[in-house]
């Protein structure tokens, strides 16, 4: 069950909101927990048991860390809890690719390949475990108190609004509202509007571009226009898919009385690669900073160690994103190298790059890096890069001529307009009558109705970050 499915929009969500609204305030965490477990169990009751087990482990571990005084035993307990969580993630996410890699080496050496039944990755496992680890580390550091009420803690870890693909919530962000929050019409209506905006982003742009992206990345020898169309379409699809999910999750949270932080801040308008990571998937980038980069030493141990920390941290972040191939590791290493190079430039005394050129270079780098992120293997990525460099034909290939539809062009133009819109927001508002602005503010309702009609007429497309 996904947010853009008919069963979620017409069955689960209305039923849940009705029960939540009529429940006494003291019971709403319980309603949220039960509803979230039903939502997750809808996909797989078996993996729901795993999820509950991880929740119990983190809750008991947090209580134990909170009760112990500082010392070696407490540090060892934290290390053990992190190892169990990380080991669980490693098994489900990376064991397949490791076995396949070893099997390929065995075949290369003349031996028989390994017999292996692939392990299924539970949806949302990466986000669940990152939240559990951040909670345990924060309790260890004394930044939050261990939550003694299991239902409250489990509700934090299981909130169905952001359970599957983030934002990655810190316990301190919701601790106060778990204890006391208000179910008001103002929050509900604002959250509903935000949910509708996110659905428009997902359905009207991301889902419309999905078949085009799939076809473009499957072209055997893409031409110049094939390769750049694949790159542009996927860059838009990924942003509107993931940012759309985040908007829907934030909207759902606000409808229930929670106020989650923003997860995207116009990343394609970033002025540098550092600025991009301050704007893209903000909950992950800050998690990486606070729980990986700074513990590794950050920038406190000299220039060389700083550059190494940047590259290693981003390599880990790359591997966190995917488990099907080693492309994600390469993507992380490339971003780490870019962050290190940008830092070196800024400290070299060289003149700063003009803003317009810096924006263009950052966007070009990010979009080209998405190619290796999306490609199923190195060969496909390399073939697309050859096409982008003009090493093959330039004209649009026959495959994409057949696949490309007016709806794809409309989705691309809509996506580009939405990305550029923040730059024009203030001038437009200054020269637009107030009455017209009020009418324009109703667009999410019309967009939502149109998106619902599309959802009813075509197969629902899973969110891209479900696989991470």
What are the catalytic residues? 321
CB 310 within 8 A of CB 339: yes
Q: Which two tokens stand for residue 417?
A: 């307009």
- What is the C-alpha to C-alpha distance for residues 6 and 24, in angstroms, rounded to an integer? 29
CB 447 within 8 A of CB 244: no
The 10 Å Cβ neighbour count of residue 90 is 15
Q: Which two tokens stand for residue 183?
A: 């179910």
- What is the C-alpha to C-alpha distance for residues 154 and 149, in angstroms, rounded to an integer? 9
Show the DSSP H helices in 205-354 as ranges: 208-216, 224-256, 273-279, 282-288, 303-321, 327-346
Chain-centroid distance of CA 285 in Å reads 10
Q: Which two tokens stand for residue 454?
A: 């599309």
Q: 343 in helix, strand or coil?
A: helix
């Amino acid at each position: 069950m996904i947010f853009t499915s008919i069963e979620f929009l017409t069955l689960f969500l209305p039923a849940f909101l009705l029960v939540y609204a009529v429940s006494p305030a003291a019971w709403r965490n319980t309603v949220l927990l039960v509803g979230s477990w039903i939502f997750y169990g809808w996909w797989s009751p078996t993996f729901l048991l795993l999820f509950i087990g991880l929740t119990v482990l983190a809750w008991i571990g947090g209580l134990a860390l909170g009760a112990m005084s500082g010392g070696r035993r407490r540090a060892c307990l934290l290390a053990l809890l992190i190892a169990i969580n990380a080991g669980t993630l490693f098994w489900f996410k990376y064991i397949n690719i490791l076995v396949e890699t070893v099997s390929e080496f065995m075949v290369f050496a003349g031996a028989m390949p390994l017999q292996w039944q692939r392990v299924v990755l539970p949806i949302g496992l990466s986000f669940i475990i990152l939240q559990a680890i951040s909670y345990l580390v924060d309790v260890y550091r004394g930044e939050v108190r261990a939550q003694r009420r299991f239902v409250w803690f489990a509700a934090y870890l299981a909130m169905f609004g952001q359970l599957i693909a983030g934002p990655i919530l810190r316990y301190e962000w919701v601790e106060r509202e778990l204890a006391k929050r208000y179910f008001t019409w103002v929050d509900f209506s604002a959250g509903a509007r935000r949910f509708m905006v996110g659905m428009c982003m997902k359905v009207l742009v991301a889902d419309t571009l999905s078949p085009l992206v799939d076809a473009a990345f499957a072209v055997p020898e893409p031409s110049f226009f094939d390769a750049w169309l694949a790159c542009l379409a996927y860059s838009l699809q990924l942003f509107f898919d993931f940012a759309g999910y985040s908007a829907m999750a934030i909207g759902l949270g606000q409808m229930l009385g929670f106020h989650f932080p923003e997860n995207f801040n116009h990343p394609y308008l970033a002025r540098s690669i550092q600025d991009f990571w301050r704007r893209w998937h903000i909950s992950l980038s800050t998690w990486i900073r606070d729980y990986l980069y700074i513990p590794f030493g950050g920038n406190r141990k000299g220039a060389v160690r700083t550059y190494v920390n940047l590259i290693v941290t981003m390599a880990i972040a790359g591997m966190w994103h995917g488990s099907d191939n080693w492309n994600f590791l390469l993507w992380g290493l490339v971003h780490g190298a870019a962050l290190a190079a940008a830092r070196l430039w800024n400290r070299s005394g060289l003149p700063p790059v003009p803003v317009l050129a810096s924006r263009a270079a950052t966007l070009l780098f990010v979009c080209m890096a998405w190619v290796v992120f999306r490609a199923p293997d190195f060969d496909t990525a390399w073939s697309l890069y050859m096409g982008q460099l003009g090493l093959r034909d330039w004209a649009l290939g026959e495959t994409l001529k057949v696949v490309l539809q007016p709806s794809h062009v409309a989705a691309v133009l809509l996506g580009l307009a939405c990305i550029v819109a923040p730059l024009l927001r203030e001038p437009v508002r200054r020269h637009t009558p107030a009455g017209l602005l009020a009418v324009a503010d109703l667009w999410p309702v019309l967009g939502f109705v149109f998106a619902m009609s599309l959802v009813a007429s075509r197969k629902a497309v899973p969110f891209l970050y479900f696989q991470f």
